[in-house]
Amino acid sequence: MPELISEARDLTTDDAILDWAVQGFAPGVRVWTLGAANAVASPDLSCRDRLAVHGPVEPLAVLIRHVFAELGTSYRPMGDRALIEQLIDRLPELRPIHPFLWMDVTGDSLATRPAAHWLTPAEYPEAAELLDLAMPDSYAHPLRPGATRWAGVRDEAGRLTAVACEAWSSPTTGFMAGVAAHPEYGRGRGHAEAACRLVLDALLRANGRAALMVHADNPAAIRLYRRLGMASRELRAAQHVG
């Protein structure tokens, strides 16, 4: 039978994605194990009810159906791409969602650039306009819950040209999101990299690990994050249909 656990040390793996999804056992987070399989149900994590999974397929299939019965079918299983694809084959009620990458880096700091600064709340409406223009599907947004602080870069004319933020961090993994550069004034000038460096440096100093998720079909962003020392891992998510 699935076992409900209440401490991260009871997980049967040290998987970074599960650790992030646990969110320090924030309110509403529930974690189950079954043998070597682990499932972390984290509500409204990065704007989705997420079910991070890791372990063998057969017990995970049992855990996923258990979570659906307990919490509802809004939870989307996510994990390594090959694992999720096996689970989709095993569970006919699941349908795939586009693949994406988990990218992370460990360390105690990252070199920053003087062009970037932490935004004040008075600058958030301008940051929101930039995101709405350059990345309208961003889960992180200055005028919505989730992000805790925003970094930005201004050009010589004083225009806000790039942003990045911390959002949905866990006690051991800082999480970056909301990376965007103005299509005319910011792209190709290193402004997004400068904003990312400021955020990643702060996350590494606080958490020792910094991570993000990026669509697999966004090669420019992936190249940027690799320049910043981030390693990639192919993930996939699925959703319940029926």
Domain span at 28: 3-101
Considering its fold, how many domains does the chain have in total?
A: 2
Give pLDDT tens digits for 198-236: 999 999 999 999 999 999 999 999 999 999 999 999 999
Domain edge (last residue) among 101, 122, 152: 101
Strand order in the sheet with 160-167: 3-5, 30-34, 37-45, 48-54, 76-80, 231-240, 94-106, 209-215, 174-181, 160-167, 147-154, 116-118
Q: Do 157 and 203 belong together in one domain?
A: yes
Q: Do 56 and 96 belong together in one domain?
A: yes
Domain edge (last residue) among 62, 86, 101: 101
Q: Do 95 and 151 belong together in one domain?
A: no
Q: Do 46 and 124 belong together in one domain?
A: no
In a domain, 226, yes or no: no
Give pLDDT tens digits for 78-137: 999 999 999 999 999 999 998 999 999 999 999 999 999 999 999 999 999 999 999 999
pTM: 0.94
Q: Do 92 and 127 belong together in one domain?
A: no
Q: How far apart are CA 113 and CA 226, in angstroms?
A: 17
Q: How far apart are CA 151 and CA 169, in angstroms?
A: 16
In a domain, 212, yes or no: no
Q: Do 145 and 163 belong together in one domain?
A: yes
pLDDT of 12 reads: 54
In a domain, 61, yes or no: yes
